[in-house]
Amino acid sequence: MKNKPIFDRKNILITGGAGFVGSHLCDELIKHHKVICIDNFITGSEENINHLLKHPDFEFIKHDMSEPLDLEMLPELRPFKVAFQGIQEVYNLACPTSPKDYNASPIETLNANGFGTRYALDIAVKYGAKFLHVSTSAIYGEPLEATPFPENYWGYVDPVGPRSAYNEGKRFAESLVTHYRAKHHIDAKIIRMFNTFGPRMRLTDGRMIPDFVKNALSSQTLTIYGAAEDRSTYCYITDMIEGMIRMMNSSETGPMNLGNPETHKINEVAEYIIKLTNSRSVISYKPHLPYTAKQGIPNIRLAREKLGWFPVVPLEDGIQKTVEYMRGSRAITLDSYPH
Ligand code: NAD
């Protein structure tokens, strides 16, 4: 069955839909389409999609994408009439993402990028669906100098290093998408996402902003793994979701960088979070953890030209919304933190 727009609401499949980025994508796409969300909860959570579970156009399937998936065999999907209507779009996000997570689950990370991407692509081939693969700035490896990465930079990556399950896994996935596109003539696209933040990041997932907020709220030390002058980039989640949907709706195949090219000193972000939370926390510095790397800066010229996309949410506004969410999150009572 081909990708014919004969229905007013498309059937859209999102792998990794119960994670941080995936759940925001579900929220946006459900406004106009039917959404099938696949997740095995290795790093995502039901809490992120709880509010959608009763929506008639939303279905959650608990499944490990490293295993094949026959959508037409699932009784829960009967209302989506998959055999008749098909699937029009697939967003492929399933993959442990925080360095702490892929360091703890390297084989699962490789499987998600290899088998998981392959089975998601097979679904796109079967239904002639458009496919958007979410890759990462990590494929560029360690930035050798502080210049923004353009898409034609090939990367400086250690294939057997402590980050290799993630960055080599994502490089393999990009190659798979590229060769499926050529062989099966599907409209398969790649975006390379740079550091993105916002509500629903797990407080304990080890990424910088949730770590800072968690520690600031409990007056613990905010640890910066690097030096005081290190800079990073931060894209707010609503900007990123807008870029992903524009990419899916475009005729571009990418790879296309999506991220916020503005750099900010990490210690200034930490200080701002301390101020916002009225915290007594102090900042300390430690060397980089072996499985983390300096953040690269995106060159987003291509996204500006081809998608008319660029981030609009100021860092301070994004951090305020994130702190508000994390403060209000049920998981947060100051006493519940493991100190
Ligand atoms: P996340 O960990 O919150 O989400 C990943 C989701 O994928 C989780 O819900 C997890 O349970 C699910 N998952 C993992 N393996 C799976 C499998 N085998 N089968 C089914 N589900 C599986 O991370 P995120 O920040 O939301 O990242 C989403 C995607 O964006 C990832 O592919 C990641 O590499 C990419 N990305 C994110 C960032 C960022 O800053 N957030 C930056 C670059 C790239």
Q: Residue 233: which of 201, 269, 203 has the closest Cα?
A: 269
Residue 284 lies in a domain: no
Three-class secondary structure assignment of 126-166:
HHCCEEEEEEEHHHHECCCCCCCECCCCCCECCCCCCCHHH
Determine phi and psi for 313, rounding to 5 degrees.
-85, 120
* Ligand 1 within 6 A of CB of 43: yes
Question: Which residue out of 91, 119, 127, 166 is catalytically annotated?
Answer: 166
Specify the pTM.
0.95
Q: What is the pLDDT of residues 151-161, one digit of tens each?
A: 999 999 999 99
**Interval between CA 282 and ligand 1 midpoint (Å):** 31
**Interval between CA 279 and ligand 1 midpoint (Å):** 30
Q: How much is the pLDDT for 222?
A: 95
* Ligand 1 within 6 A of CB of 201: no
Q: Which amino acid is at 191?
A: I
Torsion of CA 121, 126, 129, 134, to 10 degrees: -10
Q: Does the active-site annotation cover 234?
A: no
* Ligand 1 within 6 A of CB of 49: no
Q: Is the pLDDT of residue 205 over 60?
A: yes
On average, the pLDDT of the chain sits at 93
* Ligand 1 within 6 A of CB of 68: no
Residue 19: give the domain boundaries. Answer: 11-197+234-261+296-313
Mean pLDDT of 191-214: 92
Whole-angstrom CA distances from 148 to 56, 279, 300 are 43, 34, 9
Tokens encoding 118? 């392959």
Residue 111 lies in a domain: yes
| Angular region, 128: left φ>0, alpha ψ -120 to 50, beta rest | left
Residue 4 lies in a domain: no
**Interval between CA 334 and ligand 1 midpoint (Å):** 27
H-state helical runs in 12-56: 20-29
Residue 244 lies in a domain: yes
- Range from 62-71, 101-110, 129-138, 293-302 carrying the lowest mean pLDDT: 293-302
Residue 176 lies in a domain: yes
Residue 171 lies in a domain: yes
Tokens encoding 185? 């003539």
177: domain CATH number is 3.40.50.720
How many independent structural domains does the chain possess? 1
DSSP for residue 251: S
Q: Report the C-alpha gap between 39 and 59 in whole angstroms.
A: 11
For residue 181, the Cα-to-chain-centroid distance in whole angstroms is 22
Residue 139 lies in a domain: yes
For residue 224, the Cα-to-chain-centroid distance in whole angstroms is 22
Residue 250 lies in a domain: yes
Whole-angstrom CA distances from 155 to 141, 149, 227, 247 are 5, 9, 23, 23
